[in-house]
Structure 1
Amino acid sequence: MSDRTTLKRGQLGTTALVFMIIAASAPLTVLAGGAPTNLAVSGLLGLPLSYLVLGVVLILFAIGYSAMSSRIHNAGAFYAYISQGLGPRQGIAAALLALVTYNMLQASLYGLFGFSLSAAIATWTSVQLPWWLVGAVGWLLVALLGVRNVDFSAKILGVLVALEFLVVAIVMGIALTHAPEGVSVVSLRYGDFMSSGVGVLLAFSIAAFMGFESGAIYSEETKDPKRTVARATYIAVAIIALFYGLSTWALTMGVGPSAIIDEARTYGPDLVFVWLAEFSPLLSDVAHLLFVTSIFAALVAFHNASARYFFALGRSRVLPQVLGRTGGNGSPVAGSVAQSTVGLGVVILFALTGINSSLGELYPVITLFTWFSTAAAFGLVFLMAVTSVAVLVWFRGNHHGFGVFTRVIAPALATIALISVAVLILINFDLMIGEESPRAMVFIMPGIIIGSGVLGALWSLRFDRHTDIHTIPDDEPPVEAEATGADSASASATLTAP
């Protein structure tokens, strides 16, 4: 296999990968943007508990997922695992679904980034810039970072994530020391969680974890593929769940349990900044700036994930082979350019369609961000559920040294829980996209996700069963391994283009 189809090895250790995963989940964006929206729509104080419950579910998923990632290393994680467990045709269907999902998620963030930075600039300078112009600047920066080595992106994301944690820690400190109704376990009680709105609560909350599974996408570029991905995934999920749970509980105490739902409905994503401004306008401005950089960090993280899916599918010849080429620095340059092209096309499309929209400045948030990110949340949850099934099937043929809890119990429980959450998202899709959105979007956006999987299944019919999906087996050193057939010792599920 040519070096031009090989990602650069040994770039990421556990710490760097943890930062990459957390950056994709965007902690400050979730606290400042997602939490108030969730509280406003669900009307439940049990938001912190929902993060902890979903954290347990995702740990269960990560047990089987990480075990499989320690044996199969491929930049197209869902693609490789589902191919190995359920078959290469199912893998191709999942691959196109994953590719569409990650690209929709990444592109959606340009709407939120453009709106948020434009609003911040207008607040600080009174200069009103169109969201698409600001979004285009963000696009250019992301595109440039995307063709660099992943370790460079990891360093930048590490700094941004550290600053996010620092600001949220300060917010928590202020909230708990200035709690108008005192500090209590309200919002952590079972009754505040299990109520009639729990479906909406969980459907919104799962979106906060999007990106936690992305560690496996970098398995080919880690220093120790057998251990780094699993270790980083466990650490990231635990940190994210605890961090979201504690920070939203602290915010509830700071605003007041009796007032926070009404305040969230009044101010929406501005709630945190309005509340902070009462104590320190400067801190509010700093938090607002880091809110924007948090979105940017997520943009970079999901760009990298999408680029590696393009790369994995190009290398396997499922998509044009040129996408499976790397640059001289070992990064998936062709895949990165493809993702940048998709992102630019989406920004241009929504810039043109929003010119005469009655939604005004909120247009990119209500349309591009909300529609695409909600559909992507459904896509990722569905993919994780299918992957859990693939894990069960894959381990049935060979235990690979793992116990029954890892092979059967954890992935089975994860499958049931993830299917339940996917159904909840579909049931509450109209609430999640908001009343301002056309009702047709309730069917169109999930339809795009499901349709991409159907298209992938149809696309797989043009292949025979002999094309390498390009995995690195656990009993070989971290170099490229290419299978010669469906029964190859490398365990690569194979299809061949005619």
Structure 2
Amino acid sequence: MTTTQKVATRPMPDEPAQAAGPRGERRLGVIAVAFMIVAASAPLTVVAGGVTSTFSVTHVVGVPVAYVLLAVALAVFAVGYAAMSRHITNAGAFYAYVAQGIGRSVGVGASLVALVAYNMMQIGIWGMFGFQVSTLIAEKTGASVPWWAGVLVGIAVVGWMGVHRVDLSATVLGVLVALEFLVVIVFDVVAFAHPAEGFSTAPVEPASLFVPGIGAVFAFGIAAFMGFESAAIYGEESKDPRRTIPRATFLAVGVIGVFYAISAWALALAVGVDKILDPAGIAPEEAGPPLFFGFVAEHLGTLWVDLMSVLFITSLFAALVSFHNAVARYLFSLGREGVLPGRLAGVRAGHGAPWVGSVTQTVLALVVVGAFAVGESGWDPARGPYPVITLFTWLTNAGALGLVLLMAVVSLAVVGYFRRDARGVGLGARVVAPVLAALALVAVLVMILANFTVLLGQESADATTYVLPALLLLPGLAGIAWGLRTRRARPAVYAGIGHGGEEAPPAGATPEHTDTTTGGTR
């Protein structure tokens, strides 16, 4: 350990954590946090990869409408989420919200689901990143570079950024996200100007969405928004978390919702409505990203294809940095409160980067990527690019499932948190909005599970169809059990769960601190 590093640990195993948060100086404003959120959503990756795949698989024209409806549902979720963020500032975000809104034991379960889900999203994206890097190198130089070679370099860079000041990440992500928006806007303008089958409003008509296949469209679409909920993770590093976090959340969901809807409409025009509707209209070699890049090559030329290919990679990189930061801060929060080993709460002196959590996530990514690299030896190339079909598709879709589940639980936690003390929050924000959001998110969750084989590209269910969801649910159940055990064995630690190192409410405190799952104090 260098002299510039400091580890914040618990003084005794059974004492509540009092470690400082990953604050250093509060550096992040609304725009910086919004860029961190949008970076996780990876706009260019969504448009060039997610939207194209949705059209290719579902043959539903009304995809733009789905993005609007999903944005509305998530905005409703954000109403209660933002109200709670004004009262709870914790790098553990979902974990702290559930712990204080439903109960500490459930909060521990939620924390483990969040850790697994964010790690799945982050590590899964490495599969697409590695494939795109190796493909680009092969196209431009003729050299054959294994997909995992680029991933190793990328992991090193992301890990280096993770142990430095958070505003460094925010600056890098801001530049990358701005470039992503710029090139997609260029694509949108050209697509509207040169529609394949003439201009049509069919993609934005609700009747085009409410057809067979709507469930798969929502299942695909929700993944495009994953990461928007991460604003609260940066609360302890924001200049004014009571204002920064709500504003950044609403700004991000509004911008990406409108942006994805318009870009999906543009893509539908670029491909052609009739071609999308025809199950045989999109040839296998055209499906997915080729729909986007083929149009760019035809109307803008190869220079723009090369530029967008590079930005596609940087888009993935931006998402990797954002999800890495989320995992590091969850590990920090859980270590600070004694739920996980206290050493995970280590922060760098001066700027407070949670360096131990960052290094831990880096090592985990190396191990999982290494396991997939070794497993590639038995892969049949005729089935498609190994890292995309396995590492990327399996983990990111499972991660999205876990985050939707968490958002549904957080919606209920909002109701629980304000149940005994409204804290001046209106009925709409503390009850109506979170209940509606919970119902909408549960509906999306059911759609994801019902269409999981479609998301994984499977003709029929196999072991992965069941193992991947289990990898999320079982840690959640184990976390609840661990929380209950902690309540019996280490009551002082249990008392501090979800309170971010601040003094927990004492036993026998006012009614609003009652733990609804255990009957004790929260």
1:119 pairs with 2:135: yes
Counterpart for residue 9 of structure 2: none
CA deviations on 1:193-216 (whole Å, 9 max, x unpaired) are 001110000011001000000001
Structure 2 Cα separation of the partners of residues 60 and 16 of structure 1: 23
Cα 1:5/1:65, change in 2 over 3 Å: closer
Q: Pick one of 467, 475, 486 that aligns with 1:452.
A: 475
1:428 pairs with 2:451: yes
1:469 pairs with 2:469: no
Counterpart for residue 482 of structure 1: 503
Secondary structure, counterpart of 1:73 in structure 2: coil
Structure 2 Cα separation of the partners of residues 296 and 492 of structure 1: 41
Counterpart for residue 348 of structure 1: 370
* 1:296-445 superposed matches below 5 A: 296-328=317-349, 329-359=351-381, 362-435=385-458, 439-445=462-468
Secondary structure, counterpart of 2:492 in structure 1: strand
Cα 1:487/1:232, change in 2 over 3 Å: farther
Structure 2 Cα separation of the partners of residues 265 and 236 of structure 1: 34
State the superposition RMSD in angstroms. Answer: 2.1
Answer yes or no: is the 8 Å Cα contact 2:22–2:237 preserved in 1: no
Structure 2 Cα separation of the partners of residues 69 and 460 of structure 1: 23
Answer yes or no: is the 8 Å Cα contact 2:18–2:336 preserved in 1: no
Structure 2 Cα separation of the partners of residues 470 and 455 of structure 1: 17
Note the C-alpha offset of 1:251.
1.3
Secondary structure, counterpart of 2:204 in structure 1: coil
- Identity of counterpart residues, as a percentage? 46
Note the C-alpha offset of 1:125.
1.4
1:92 pairs with 2:111: no
Q: Which amino acid aligns with 1:406?
A: A
- TM-score w.r.t. structure 1 length? 0.94
Bigger shift: 132-141 or 183-192?
183-192
Structure 2: gaps spanning 5 or more residues: 1-16
Note the C-alpha offset of 1:43.
1.4
1:275 pairs with 2:295: yes
Answer yes or no: is the 8 Å Cα contact 1:9–1:220 preserved in 2: no
Q: Which amino acid aligns with 1:345?
A: V
Q: Pick one of 178, 191, 198 that aligns with 2:214.
A: 198
Structure 2 Cα separation of the partners of residues 81 and 330 of structure 1: 23
1:33 pairs with 2:53: no
Cα 1:6/1:109, change in 2 over 3 Å: closer
1:221 pairs with 2:266: no
Answer yes or no: is the 8 Å Cα contact 2:113–2:473 preserved in 1: yes
Note the C-alpha offset of 1:265.
4.7
1:263 pairs with 2:289: no
Q: Which amino acid aligns with 2:317?
A: F
Structure 2 Cα separation of the partners of residues 386 and 3 of structure 1: 27
- Give the count of matched residue pairs: 489
Q: Which amino acid aligns with 2:306?
A: D
Cα 1:487/1:147, change in 2 over 3 Å: farther
Structure 1 Cα separation of the partners of residues 381 and 513 of structure 2: 50
* Structure with the larger RCO, 1 or 2 (CA within 8 Å, 6+ apart): 2
CA deviations on 1:165-194 (whole Å, 9 max, x unpaired) are 000000001101111322221111122100
Secondary structure, counterpart of 2:61 in structure 1: coil
Bigger shift: 182-191 or 216-225?
182-191
Structure 2 Cα separation of the partners of residues 186 and 492 of structure 1: 52
Bigger shift: 264-273 or 103-112?
264-273
CA deviations on 1:104-132 (whole Å, 9 max, x unpaired) are 11000110100011111111111121001
Structure 2 Cα separation of the partners of residues 416 and 234 of structure 1: 20
Note the C-alpha offset of 1:435.
2.3
Secondary structure, counterpart of 1:326 in structure 2: strand
Structure 2 Cα separation of the partners of residues 487 and 56 of structure 1: 40
Note the C-alpha offset of 1:462.
2.3
Q: Which amino acid aligns with 2:238?
A: T
Q: Which amino acid aligns with 1:295?
A: L
Counterpart for residue 228 of structure 2: 212
